[in-house]
A and B are shown apart, each in its own frame.
Chain A
Amino acid sequence: MGWRRIWRALALAVCGVLAMPAVKAEPDYPPVLPGTVLRFPEDGGAHPDFRTEWWYVTGWITDERGVERGFQVTFFRVRTGIGEDNPSRFAPRQLVLAHAAIADPAAGRLLHAERSERALDPLAGADPGATRVWIRDWQLAWTQDHYRSRIDAGSFAFDLRFDPSGLPVLNGDNGFSQKATDPKHASHYYSRPQLAVSGALRVDGATVPVTGRAWLDHEWSSELLPEGARGWDWIGINLHDGGSLMAFRMRDERGAALWSAGTLRAAGGEPRALRPGQVAFTPQRRWRSPRTGAEYAVEWLIDIDGRRLELRPLMDDQELDSRRSTGAVYWEGAVRLFESGREIGRGYLEMTGYAERLRM
């Protein structure tokens, strides 16, 4: 669900504002209210009035020789509250940020790249109406019946097409996804699980055709992270039987859950919202990053409504260390889900707030 990136983007926004008490009060961001009906493809586009928004695609891809890799690409939109009255085309009212990464077991660690720009036609932007976000030649867009994303980061590149197999899965209460006990901490949130991937990947200078399964999250909100939260853990898993599982928990200082929730959709069935009591994350094997010294649980025991599931990573080192550019450090990587020792799905795990305290 891309929380760690929203966290970073929000950290940007909030600290920027806090550091500048002289600047006029922040703009009126619309609240996220239950009962809002999401429509498609319109709600696949940007919601520029809200404070933050992201489109987040993760998945597993396999090349002709059977090599399996994870990938993720995320586009963010942030309404900064700056320059709202400035007629300049450069006015930084909206920023667009993008992250892309490849988890390649041969490399033993993530290849990643990022971009950030102010929204400025035709260079960068997030269109309302239908999904289209881009920063120069990086893009994610919906056309007719599929998504397409193109990323060229120099050291790696991909051009992937994502064909959905069903309707969008609305998380929480029909797309109203609560993040804390106080319902004001919520987002509009839907997922597109079971996306069929086809396209090309370039790593180590060689371009190879790939296929696979992916997951898209689209979420927008106006509120900041709940008080007392240090980070979160999240999974988005395409189940081999055609179903899908999303689950997350907000963690406090001591690592205890402040809030958890999820959405389970059985193959061919309707999505079922999971309440806090129905989702539990229990860390198992830990791995310490040699770069940042942060310790992450790379294997988990996950309790979903009484089912005991095990999570194991594609590889241990899927930490994304961008301290030299943006300063964010988190673990985000490809994982396999097991039940009773049998692999039942594959997807992505995201863990934030382990390297350092949240700056909010």
Chain B
Amino acid sequence: MSRVLGRIFVASLARRRLATALSLFAIALGVALGLAVQIIHGAALDEFGRGMRLLSGEADLQVAGSRDGFDDALYGRLAMRDEVADASPVVELEVRLPAHDRSLSLFGLDALRVAYVHPALMPQQVDDARRDDVALAALQPDALFLSPAAQAELGVSAGERLDVLAGARVVSLRVAGAVPGAGQGRALAVMDIAAAQQLFGRPGRITRIDLRLKPGIDVGAARDALAADLPAGVAVLTPHAAEELAAGLSRAYRVNLTMLAAIALVTGGFLVFSTQFLAVARRRQEFAFLRALGLGRGALMRGLLIEGAVVGIAGGLLGIAFGHGIAAVAFDVAGGDLGAGYFSGVSPALRFDLAASGTYLLLGVLAGLAGAWLPAREARHMLPARALKSGDEASMFRFHPRPRRAAACLAGAAVLCLLPPLAGVPVFGYLAVALILVGAVLVLPMLVRGVTRVASRPRRALWRLANARLAAAPGQGVVAGAGVVASVALAVAMAIMVASFRDSVDRWLTAVLPADLYVSASPQGTSGFLDPAALARIAALPGVSRTMPVRFDTLRLDDRHLPVSLIARPLDGGKLLPLVGLSVPPSAGEKPAWVSEAMADLFALGAGDRIVLPLGGNPVAFRVAGVWRDYARQQGAVAIELADYRAATGDLVANDVGVFLAAGTSFDTVAAAVRDILGENTVRIASPGEIRARSLAIFDRTFLVTYAMEAVAVLIGLFGVSTSFAVLAIARRKEFGMLRHLGMTRREVGRLITLEGVLTAAAGTVLGLLAGTAVAFVLIEVVNRQSFHWSMDLHVPFGGLLAFAAIVIALAGLAARVSGYQAMRGSALLAVREDW
């Protein structure tokens, strides 16, 4: 393109600075958000994967069972097999550190085997010169070796001591050295496997065996051969499969955030569209003139597309800078999982991600090009002779209502909602959301026409003018209103979804926390537990009417899924669970189990089905008596009666105990009595209210990013409305001049513009509310259900939504009025003479 044409096209961007800046900013935001999500999760996943690879070391296969582990006699059997070159037994524990109010991953290892299978976990004594001592130093029962990250985070160095919680006892361990191979990214501790078993009350149990196969042994064949030899609930996986399973858990969450970023990007593209569209309308005569001077159709179209691309490139580059900035801040503030808790114990570092940056820059350019496409095509198709005349731009705003297309979109959305997810990602749900939005935008012109018809009943001139204007050029209203529809719909959908979710979580917490006081020895399956003696003493305390011990474990049901959580507690035939749907009481002699919605979805289970749970290394048959709602364990959970668990395993300890107080007993008295029995710092004692508040705080933190992105989407939508009106107002300067000539005051013209804005925005907002509710329904019933496998009750925050709608309409009116005044700043005479 010649320099002259460059001046004509690209330079025109500079002439409408505000509109260009807003489009550019919207694209930049979309790119920045998407890129930030990508970088943050990419880095977190990398680090997570590196952590897992570090822990699996050079293992070809990993044998793993439940969190509580399996009989360690299996180790000798597997290690002696012909296929196996080296085997390394592991006891994995989350150890609570009473002095630091956190837990630490601890690996009980055989220091003599570590070097062959996971050299990175090799403990190293402080005094490196005395290499010979390491073997025995690492065998000492009180010797703990900390990774550099753990030493830094805990502020404990070699030679000092670290208190850990073992059962309900605080034990002081000596930090004998480091685990230098663990790198900076991961806080972990290593100690001798026998010492870990004894100290943490796990005699005869290990959680993992890592195997290195002999050279030339086929991993798949060895895996099959080994799998046949394993007890119930123990699976053999390749480290890669284990990593995939773990990463898969957060995939739905990551896709969700990426979708939000995509919405911001699409909005940016839409903004480019609306400004370009109106700019093309305004410059129609200019283009006709250029065409008459010999500019080809193609060159005209290319010029306009380049305008869009330039906005896209600039926005994209700005977005890349923003995106890395956001990621840096997010790593500092919220951690690698943006507060959602998927990657705890992982501290990733910010890196420039060339591939992701390139991709998002390209997406930014595409958004700019897509926004410029329709206006450019429109310009290409105009007839120069006609367009040279004034008023021809009105033809651009002739908008044909397309009821069939709108209906097809909405029907398509309904059908997509019925389809299952692809690889755990609700692809069709997201498509349905997109179709609903498109359908709503297609419905908009019909609605605008309807609104104006109703509105023009009063005989007042202003109303009739507004009506005439909107009826004559509905396209203008559509361009301005579509932004309103999209942003209102998304905001409303998110608001309804989050409100429903929060409300459901709140009620769920009430249902799962029936007791008056909770004593927790191990909040997340950590090293603490309550033995039968401690449980008996708590039950015997004065003021305690009843206790409800809870035992947590995980069960590995097959090698295609992550282990599900096992919750064994008194359930009173399921009455103490937040059940959904029908329940089927098991017949006599059958043991009932209640599965969470996630487990029902993942394992295709329903009430009445038979299910085999590996308890204590043996398969035990249960009947699914019902499905319950669980927001806490996305990989699935199964609840069984504590008595059944104890009968099957002989395991009498508990992780938590819920305490029901006798009437008139105070919480504090019993809490103090429990602390007297168990000691300070060994257990957490909380009321259901505290647990609820804490859980909801976690909930809000999880949705913090969602809220932020939602706000950005609304903001960009409002930008769209105001730029649309600004450009429209400029385009209509002639018209305003005419009205002034006819005797209308500036104030009256301003009121007219405001009225038009309000009417358009009202139509858009009403439609946005309706579309938003539909989208919320899809989000709740399809996207959330398929992503996270949990249901929720629809809860519409009417008050908030109405207030929001009113604000949007008012802001739209204000935006229209401000832009109108700007447009009328010039002389009415000049404005009219422009045409004649």
Contact = CB atoms under 8 A, between A and B. Distances in A.
A116 B134 CA distance: 13
Contacts of B112: 95, 116-118
Contacts of A15: 130, 132-133, 136
Contact of A88 (B76, B80, B127, B198): B198
B181 to A, nearest CB: 16
Contact of B137 (A19, A22, A86): A19
Contacts of B98: none
A279 to B, nearest CB: 30
Interface string B120-147: 0000010100111101110111110000
A83 B194 contact: yes
A22 B193 CA distance: 20
A83 B130 contact: no
Nearest to B131: A327
B158 to A, nearest CB: 12
Given A88-B194, A90-B194, A123-B79, A118 B142 contact: no
A309 interface: no
A86 B194 contact: yes
Contacts of A42: none
Contacts of A12: 132-133, 135-136
Contacts of A90: 72, 89, 110, 192-194, 197
Contact of A23 (B79, B127, B142, B194): B142
Nearest to A78: B136
B203 interface: yes
Contacts of A86: 141, 194-195, 197-198
Contact of A16 (B113, B127, B137, B204): B137
Contacts of A11: 132-133
**In this complex, which of A82, A89, A90, A92 has the most chain B Cβ atoms within 10 angstroms of its Cβ?**
A90
Interface of B: 72-73, 76, 79-80, 89, 110, 112-113, 125, 127, 130-133, 135-137, 139-143, 174, 176, 192-195, 197-198, 203-204
Residue among A11, A16, A327 with max Cβ neighbours from chain B (10 Å): A16
A105 B427 CA distance: 70
B110 A118 contact: yes
Q: Report the 5 A-B pairs with minimum CB-CB distance, sorted nearest first.
A: A16-B136, A90-B194, A88-B194, A15-B133, A92-B139
Contacts of A122: 76, 80
Given A22-B174, A83-B194, A92-B192, A326 B80 contact: no
Nearest to A92: B139
Interface in A5-19: 8, 11-13, 15-17, 19
Given A20-B142, A87-B203, A328-B132, 20 more contacts: A12-B136, A15-B130, A15-B132, A15-B133, A16-B139, A16-B140, A19-B127, A82-B139, A86-B141, A88-B194, A88-B197, A89-B72, A89-B76, A90-B89, A92-B139, A117-B112, A118-B139, A123-B79, A323-B131, A326-B131
Given A12-B135, A327-B131, A91 B140 contact: no
Interface of A: 8, 11-13, 15-17, 19-20, 22-23, 80, 82-83, 86-92, 95, 116-118, 120-123, 136, 323, 326-328, 359
16 contacts: A12-B132, A12-B133, A16-B133, A17-B136, A19-B125, A19-B127, A20-B143, A82-B140, A86-B197, A89-B72, A89-B204, A116-B135, A123-B79, A136-B79, A326-B132, A326-B135
Contacts of A17: 136
A3 to B, nearest CB: 16
**Chain A binding surface, main DSSP class:** loop
A359 B110 CA distance: 25
A88 to B, nearest CB: 4
Nearest to A154: B215
A89 B79 CA distance: 14
Contacts of B127: 19
B203 A20 contact: no
Contacts of A23: 140-142
A117 B115 CA distance: 12
B76 A20 contact: no
Contacts of B193: 88, 90
A123 B113 CA distance: 12
B76 A123 contact: yes
User: Which of B131, B174, B176 gathers the greatest number of chain A CB atoms within 10 Å?
Assistant: B131
Contacts of A323: 131
B704 to A, nearest CB: 45
B137 A123 contact: no
Given A12-B132, A83-B195, A20 B140 contact: yes
Contacts of B135: 12, 16, 95, 116, 326
Contacts of B176: 20
Contacts of B141: 23, 82-83, 86
Nearest to A115: B112
A241 to B, nearest CB: 41
Nearest to A83: B194
A359 B142 contact: no
Contacts of B130: 15, 19, 359
B139 A83 contact: yes
A8 B204 contact: no
B131 A92 contact: no
Contacts of A92: 139, 192, 194
Nearest to B130: A15
B136 A13 contact: yes
A98 to B, nearest CB: 12
Most buried by B among A20, A86, A88, A326: A88
